[in-house]
Amino acid sequence: MPFTTGIITSTRAEGTAATNVVVSVRNVDTSDATVVVQIFGVPWSNLVLTPHYVTSYVIPANSSDIREFYIAGNVAYEVQINNLSPSVEVAFSTYGIDEFGNIVEEQRVLNSELTPIAALSPVS
């Protein structure tokens, strides 16, 4: 089932702006899982949700994966995540981090806070 963080505002006017978003995936199962991550930005120039990253990767059984994606220059961003191995249990979380590598607490989205969606947004 796919999930979204929803649109996350990331400006200094609203707190600390994130330069990167960290996506953490934990596979708590005994089988490998394949996940898809899509990251969209909303640039200041046109305020239109724009795809920045689309990637898929395998998370081995009983392991985790942490990846960083550059999102600076956007007024907001959204992370969408899908587990393509529905019989395998995985947990997701995302964090915004500033230019010094510090977590932006108000941009933290834990697994229980992700919103289920019917499908990942189409990207071209």
Choose among 86, 87, 104: nearest CA to 95: 104
- Give 42: exposed, middle or buried? Use CB within 10 Å, 0-12, 13-18, 19+: buried
CB 78 within 8 A of CB 6: yes
Instruction: Give residue 14's pLDDT band: very low, low, confident or very high (50, 70, 90).
Output: low
* pLDDT value of position 13: 67
pLDDT band at 123 (very low <50, low <70, confident <90, very high): confident
Segment 63-79 shows an average pLDDT of 96
Report the pLDDT value the prediction gives residue 47, as an integer from 0 to 100: 84
| pLDDT higher than 90, residue 56 | yes
CA distance 59 to 79: 18
